[in-house]
Structure 1
Amino acid sequence: MAFRFELQPALPLQLTPDCLVYSGTVRMFVTGIMFQTSGAPADSFGFALPDAPPLLGDADEPRVWAEASLMTGTATAASGGYPFGVEWVRAAYLPDPRGGTSRWLNLFGGAHIGREIRLGYRVTVATV
């Protein structure tokens, strides 16, 4: 089973000179054949936040907090009794998979997606 993501970021919000909030929505949906089993663990997901600049070289990682909430979802007809929604979420600066020394702000977590869900996300970055 493969997932696709459609991101709709909002404009970053500068709370203080040292605190910035990135937010938006992400639509996650299944492509291909989907199998659900009772008691299955949450599916892992992750993506780089599109409006967040990279953390260069060996710069210290700022403090980050991640939040996500279920906005909408589409389950299959046979999905009664299966978990549905976001189970956990975290954010961190991760190395660029293309190489280089920059690190990029990523949101990742576990969710029970069913056929499709839309999550609202917010990642707060504090450089103090």
Structure 2
Amino acid sequence: MGDKSGKHGPKLDEEMHREAEGLTRSGGPTHPQPWNDPEPVDTDTGVDPTATRADRRGAPPGMTPRDVEERSTIASVLAGVNYPASPRELADHAASTAAPDNVVSRLSRLPGESYDGLPEIVKDLGIGHEERRT
């Protein structure tokens, strides 16, 4: 018993060793509390286990990569605009955010009189829209 720690005494050390032996030989987790065990990672299928559906990179169905980029640009320059807004108000807001000149020009030429949100604006600009996912 010279290799034992002697912290608790030989009898208690031997008892603790027997209690833990099943856990250490089982090949499973050794934590007595299951909430302390690490979560398993799915590496067998080659799919990211955190992904909710198919790979989300790229353009969604119904949109081209260019549509996605244009919609993103329009959304970022119109962040904070007060709706409903006229095409002139939209263009002025975009200009105040240092938007590219072509974006400001496109917004000022919108055909509608008033817009209640980004989907209406994108539709009138002719940017593709996402098809409904199933």
Give the alignment's TM-score, normalised by structure 1: 0.20
Q: Give 1 or 2 for the bigger CA radius of gyration.
A: 2
Bigger strand share: 1
Give the alignment's TM-score, normalised by structure 2: 0.19
Point out which structure has higher relative CO (alpha carbons under 8 A, 6+ apart).
Answer: 1
